[in-house]
Amino acid sequence: MKKIASLLLIFSVFAAEAQNNFKVPAYEKFKLKNGMTVYLMEQHEVPLIYVSAVFDAGSIQDGDRYGLASMTADALLFGTKKYTKEQIEEATDYVGANLNSGAGKESARVSMSFATKDADKMFDVLQDVLVNPTFDATEFDKYKQRSLLQLTQQKESPRAVIGNYFNKMVFDQHPYASPTDGTTSTIDKITAEDVRSFYKTYYTTDHAAIAIVGDFKTADMKKRITALLNGWKTAEGRMIKRVVPDLAFDKSRVLLVNKGDARETTFLIGGKGVDYINPDYVPIMVVNTILGGRFTSWLNDALRVNSGLTYGAGSRFSRYKMGGTFYISTFTKNSTTVPAIDMALQVLDSLHRTGLNDEILASAKAYVKGDFPPNYESAGALAGLLTDMFTYGFDENYINTFQTKVDGLTVAKAKDIIAKYFPKDKLQFVLVGKADEIRDSVKKYGTITEKEIKDEGF
Amino acid sequence: MRKTILGLALWLVGFATLAQNSPDDVKTFTLPNGMKFLVLEDHSIPTANMYFFWKVGARNEVHGITGLSHFFEHMMFNGAKKYGPKQFDRVMEANGGSNNAYTTENVTVYTDWFQKDALETMFQLEADRIADLSIDSTMVQSERGVVLSERSTGLENSNYRTISELVKGVAFQEHPYMFPVIGFESDIKSWTQEDLENYFKTYYSPNNATVVVVGDITLAQVKKLADQYMAPIPARGLPPKVRTVEPEQNGERRVTTYKDITTPNILLAYHTPETSHEDYYALDLLNNLLTSGNSSRLTKALVMDTTLASQVFSFMGDGFDPNLFYIYGVAGNGVSAQELEKAIEAQIDDLIQNEVSDRELQKVKNQKLMEFYRTIETINGKANSLGTYEVFFGDYRKLYDAPKLYEKVTPADVKRVAAKYFTERNRTVGYLLPDKTN
């Protein structure tokens, strides 16, 4: 592959549809009697229906029981009043449907896709999964064993875990620091009874939304979904007052995670970012495109194209509801760790010192407008978009003004954006690699702390 | 390198008759220099893509130049006559386009995604590098570092990568499918300028490419630009045929390696025929029976009902020549590689001994249809599928036969192919075991 299509070069785009100003397709939004928000959007290109349901039940609700939200979301599929886990899987597999559940930091999500002709059966399964999960203890215990092993195995891949170390380091005591998948000692203690209780507390209809996108008639679907979920009574959702994470760092810090057999150093360098609906996000994204959001970005150009130090380098803003992070990410062989970090820092520094010019800005604007790898081309992506609107509190205006915001960005304004939003110093470093080979030379970047990758947690 | 994704694309296209497109919607023409074009107009969104399928991959390599096909996938972005180093990407991105590329054992594919008005720019960029690629020694040196890093990061982050390279190298004793697509480390470090120049001349001749254009463009536009920019590129002779034929495997082969991991990983590989073979459909359905969904045989028996494995997957490698069917499993806690292997083989034996039920077979046929719909929702899915089918089955039109070929597969066929290919003698077993010396 020319590029890894993964965390390195991807940045989230509110896709602008080429020359045409991208608009969110028409949809209907209403509330059920129980407070649940419903979004319906017709898309008839293929005979499929996509469903996405979200609940205020993400890992920020974990407290010190890391992994509780994630285990609860996963366990929704372990059987219901009407169907055993096996029956759910047999029914969905038979018609080629996909049914998934999971939790992120902000919310838990159940998503499903199936053929229009299978709607009756699949909506029946979905309803029971949402309303009547039984959290079967036998299935839960097997799942727990698998999860414990997977947590250990995750640590075999630096790329899979480096983000958890970074979040723990920068968010510290804030709930965003909680590793969504948990740690071995925390999930070992969580029982089927715990997830049942978590479900009762946080899967409440007044803090939930469901989006259905695909091949149906809105009026019919409105009737169907109302019949299906109107009668669902849950507890009242809790309003939890949360504080905004404090990401004002007073010094540079280095977390060195030792992986004894590492052949390369994987690293993130970053600091404070922005919250999900920051009004300047579009210009921030255009500037980040130049810094580290595309193949010809300055980071990739310096670290990959000019020097051959790495296969890929990039930067991104990772956004949550109440705050976010910015980080540069790349990897290089053990012996070139310091040259690669130095070069990444130089590139970031030149963004602040030298800034942008008209030519590069024009190129980045064209790129972000044209580059819509099919973010919103498929019905599934649109269902995700609608439930994200609910979770993060934005509406289609945020997307419909995308092109105007891109076009309105000038070099002068970009300068302000850079000064305001792109970290410059007091950077936070996470390095996963062979500590013995790099320890002495990376001390210069900040106060150093060391961890063993095989130790529990992050 | 992509593996499973490409396999997926193959059968997905098989259902195209059931979607909006019909074979007649795909227009084709071939330039006098042999470059073939498939064009599908799709005006649903104001963008288009252009996929170049070159019939060159790791199977065209020999010792000393392993990884060269993949290296070219990188070098094609490093400068030509009109657009110098970096210009391909810079011009493309400034025009609102983006690109990627992938290399497999069989093909090298370049993908351009762009706004419809940038079609001519895409032709200019592509024609320049196909006609006049410059192989600058400084760029070669720097790109070696990039590819060594790509190889290293694959091995650092993927246990599958580690074991699969070893298993391929043992399952194939003669045929070049034995080579890892990324190449051997020592070869990456030492191929020469002459190797590169020869390889480009041999394989990047217009008659060795199939171009697929899908999106908000017209056949007339594509034809005009192809005549203008691609037709002048002279054809060279077709590349030499791959002569080596892998002899039948007549006895199990086993290979073991170690890494600092938690539990054993095992990989079973069985020789299966080339993609265009008639048994393809039954084997492809068998693959779904094994590992598609939690109700599939291996997933259910090893991951869901028991904790023998923490994960399992399977796939059939695509090939112009006979390739391998792989089954990969990661052992559960306290489960040995031998126990996991036995459990997998018990499931295979069941498929050899007993016919699958009509309902279970219908399940995997249904899955294929659904996965097809999910793919053709996007123009990229359409382009990749059309091109893949054209090169692997020899004619994109053959994809329209696929629905009835899948539908025709009976429980007896599945049993027959299981018995024919999943034999002990035809098997290579790889163990990646926890290295306790660290």
Which of B294, B406, B432, B438 to probe the A interface (max A CBs under 10 A)?
Answer: B294
pLDDT of residue A12: 30
- Cβ–Cβ of B363/A304 closer than 8 Å? no
A149 Cβ contact list (under 8 Å, min separation 6): B262, B263, B310, B332, B333
Residue A314 included in any domain: yes
Alpha carbon of B319 to those of A14, A174, B125, B273, B274: distances in Å? 38, 52, 30, 8, 5
Cross-chain residue pair B377–A45, CB shorter than 8 Å: yes
Given pLDDT bands bounded at 50, 70 and 90, which one contains residue B437?
A: low
Hey, of A1, A89, A297, A331, which one would you mutate to test binding to chain B, going by the most B CBs within 10 A of its CB?
A: A1
In Å, how far are A22, A214, B378 from A115, measured between CA atoms?
Answer: 27, 10, 17
Are A304 and A445 within one domain? yes
Q: Looking at the domain assignment, is residue A306 inside a domain?
A: yes
Q: Which helix (H) or strand (E) holds B256?
A: strand B253-259
Find the DSSP H helices in B252-357.
Answer: 280-291, 297-298, 337-353
**Domain coverage including residue A113:** 28-229
Whether the CB of B362 is below 8 Å from some CB of chain A: the reply is yes
- Regarding whether A257 and A219 lie in a shared domain, the answer is no
- The alpha-carbon gap from A279 to the nearest alpha carbon of chain B, in Å, equals 24
Across the range B40-47, mean pLDDT stands at: 84
Indicate the pLDDT class of residue B400, thresholds 50, 70 and 90. Answer: low
- The per-type count for chain A, helices as H runs and strands as E runs, is 17, 12
Q: Please tell me what DSSP assigns to residue A265.
A: E
Total residue count of chain A as it appears in this document? 458
Q: Give the H/E segment covering residue A267.
A: strand A264-272
Residue A22, domain member (yes or no): no
| Nearest by CB: A367 against B19, B45, B93 | B93
Q: How far is CA A13 from CA A5, A318, B111, B415, in A?
A: 14, 12, 20, 48
Helix (H) / strand (E) element for A236: namely none
Cβ-based neighbours of B244, under 8 Å, separated by 6 or more: B174, B175, B176
Residue B333: CA count within 13 A, CB half-sphere: 12
Cβ atoms of B387 and B381 closer than 8 Å? no
Sign of CA dihedral A217, A219, A220, A223: positive
**Are A159 and B157 in contact (CB < 8 Å)?**
yes
Q: Where in chain B is the domain with CATH 3.30.830.10?
A: 4-230, 253-434
The pLDDT value recorded for residue B115 is 86
CB pair distance less than 8 Å for A366 and B142: no
**Exposure string for B268-290, b = 16+ CB within 10 A, e = fewer:** bbbbbbebeeebbbbbbbbbbbb
Q: Which pLDDT belongs to residue A6?
A: 40
User: Which band of pLDDT confidence, cut at 50, 70 and 90, is reported for residue B404?
Assistant: confident
A339 near B CB under 8 A: no
Q: Measuring CA to CA, which residue among A257, A174, A250, A247 is closest to residue A448?
A: A257
Q: Starting at the edge strand that comes first in sequence, how are the strands of the sheet with B309-316 ordered?
A: B253-259, B427-434, B265-272, B323-331, B309-316
Q: The tokens 């920019």 sit on which residue?
A: B229
Average model confidence (pLDDT) for chain B? 92
Q: How confident is the model at residue B397 (pLDDT cuts 50, 70, 90)?
A: confident
Residue range B294-311: mean pLDDT, rounded: 96
Q: Do A93 and A215 share a domain, yes or no?
A: yes
A 319-338 → B contacts, CB under 8 A: 331-333
| CA-CA-CA-CA torsion sign (A158, A161, A167, A169) | negative
Give me the residue from B100, B362, B377 closest to A3, CB to CB: B100
**Is the CB of B293 less than 8 angstroms away from the CB of A92?**
yes
pLDDT at A378: 82
A346 and A225 together in one domain: no
How many distinct structural domains can be found in chain A?
2
**Contact present, B360 and B295 (Cβ < 8 Å):** no
**C-alpha A254: how far from chain center:** 24
Q: In A, which residues are within 8 Å of B155 by CB distance?
A: 263
Under an 8 A CB cutoff, do A18 and B96 touch? yes
Please determine, looking at this structure, whether the domain spanning B4-230 carries the CATH number 3.40.50.261.
Answer: no
**Can you read off the two tokens belonging to residue A244?**
């905004």
Q: Give me the helices (H) in B251-357, please.
A: 280-291, 297-298, 337-353
CA distance A33 to chain B (A): 34
List the structure tokens of A284.
């921030």
- CA A131 to chain centroid, in Å, comes to 26
pLDDT at B233 over 70: yes
B364, burial (CB in 10 Å: exposed 0-12, middle 13-18, buried 19+) = buried
Does the domain at residues B253-434 carry the CATH identifier 2.160.20.60?
Answer: no
- Between A and B, how many CB-CB pairs are < 8 A? 217
Which tokens belong to A51?
A: 């469903």
Same domain, A314 and A261: yes
Distance CA B387, CA B69 (A): 19
Same domain as A409, residue A286: yes
A147 CA: distance to closest CA in chain B (Å): 8
Is residue B46 within 8 angstroms of chain A, CB to CB? yes
* Residue B253 contacts residue B170 (beta carbons within 8 Å): yes
Work out the minimum CA distance from A331 to partner chain B, whole angstroms: 8
pLDDT digits (tens, 9 = 90+) for B162-205: 999 999 999 999 999 999 999 999 999 999 999 999 999 999 99
Tell me the per-residue pLDDT of B314-369, one tens digit each, with 9 for 90 and over.
999 999 999 999 999 999 999 999 999 999 999 999 999 999 999 999 999 999 88
Q: How far is A113 from chain B (nearest CA, A)?
A: 9
Contact criterion met (CB < 8 Å) for A373 and B96: no
- Give me the numbers of helices (H) and strands (E) for chain B, helices first please: 16, 11
Q: For residue A377, which amino acid is it?
A: E
Angle at B319 between CA B314 and CA B321, to 5 degrees: 125
- Measured between beta carbons, the chain A residues lying within 8 angstroms of B380 are 373-374
A213-229 confidence digits (pLDDT tens): 999 999 999 999 999 99
Q: Residue A313's pLDDT is what?
A: 97
Q: What pLDDT does A3 receive?
A: 65
**pLDDT in the model for residue A374:** 53
User: Which of A24, A311, A453 to probe by mutation at the B interface, max B CB count within 10 Å?
Assistant: A311
Is the Cα dihedral A158, A159, A164, A165 positive or negative?
positive
Q: What is the mean pLDDT of each run of 10 residues along chain A (458 residues)?
A: 48 36 87 97 92 97 97 98 97 97 97 97 98 97 95 95 98 96 97 98 98 97 97 92 94 98 96 96 96 96 95 96 97 97 98 97 92 72 95 89 92 98 98 97 97 96
Q: Look at residue A18 and tell me if it is in a domain.
A: no
Domain check: are A62 and A181 in the same one? yes
- Classify residue A115 as left (phi > 0), alpha (psi -120 to 50) or beta: beta
Considering the domain boundaries, does residue A366 fall inside one?
yes
Q: Which amino acid is at B280?
A: Y
Q: Does one domain contain both A192 and A288? A: no
> Within the 202-221 window of chain A, which residues sit less than 8 Å (CB to CB) from chain B?
none
Q: How far apart are alpha carbons B177 and A433 in whole angstroms?
A: 33
**Helix (H) / strand (E) containing A227:** helix A218-229
| Distance from the B108 Cα atom to the nearest Cα atom in chain A, whole angstroms | 10
The CA-CA-CA angle for residues A333, A336, A341, to 5°, reads 110
Helix (H) or strand (E) holding A203: none
- Our CA-based measurement puts residue A439 at a distance from the nearest CA of chain B, in whole angstroms, of 19
CA distance A44 to A25: 12
Measured between CB atoms, does B102 come within 8 Å of chain A? yes
Of B86, B116, B371, the CB nearest to A305: B86
- For the question of whether the overall pTM of this predicted structure is more than 0.80, the answer is yes
Q: Are A320 and A105 in contact (CB under 8 A)?
A: yes
Token readout for B135 is: 């192989």
- pLDDT average, residue stretch B39-45: 86
Give the residue from A194, A229, A264 where a domain finishes: A229
Shared-domain flag, residues A270 and A215: no
Q: What share of chain B is helix, strand, coil (3-state, %, to 5)?
A: 50, 20, 30
CB atoms within 10 A of CB A231: 12
**For residues A369 and B115, what is the distance between their CA atoms, to the nearest angstrom?**
9
* Whole-angstrom distance, CA of residue B269 vs CA of residue B183: 20
B 313-332: CB under 8 A from A: 330, 332
A47, A158, A304: residue with CB nearest B157: A158
A160 vs B: CB within 8 A: yes
**DSSP string over B223-237:** HHHIIIIITTSPP-P
pLDDT at A40: 98
What ipTM does the predicted assembly reach? 0.90
pLDDT tens digits, one per residue of B14-26 = 343 334 567 889 9
In a domain, A320, yes or no: yes
Clarify whether residues A164 and A280 are in a common domain. no
Instruction: Retrieve residue B358's tokens.
Output: 């009509």
Q: Closest-CA residue in chain B for A313?
A: B146
Residue B61 region by backbone torsions, left for phi larger than 0, else alpha for psi between -120 and 50, else beta: beta
Same domain, A222 and A259: no
CB contact under 8 A, A96 and B366: yes
Distance CA B398, CA A271 (A): 54
Question: Could A2 and B77 be called an inter-chain contact, meaning their C-beta atoms sit closer than 8 Å?
Answer: yes
Name the residue among A17, A296, A380 with its Cβ closest to that of B46. Answer: A17
Chain centroid to Cα A84, Å, comes to 30
A313 in any annotated domain: yes
| Chain B residues within 8 A of A371 when measuring between CB atoms | 93, 96-98, 113
Query: Smallest Cβ distance to A374: which of B260, B378, B438?
Result: B378
Please tell me whether residues A393 and A360 are part of one structural domain.
yes
pLDDT at position B398: 75
Distance from CA of A199 to the nearest CA of B (A): 23
CB contact under 8 A, A142 and B376: no
Residue at A458 is within a domain: no
**CATH of residue A296:** 3.30.830.10
Collapsing DSSP states into helix, strand and coil, what is residue A319?
strand
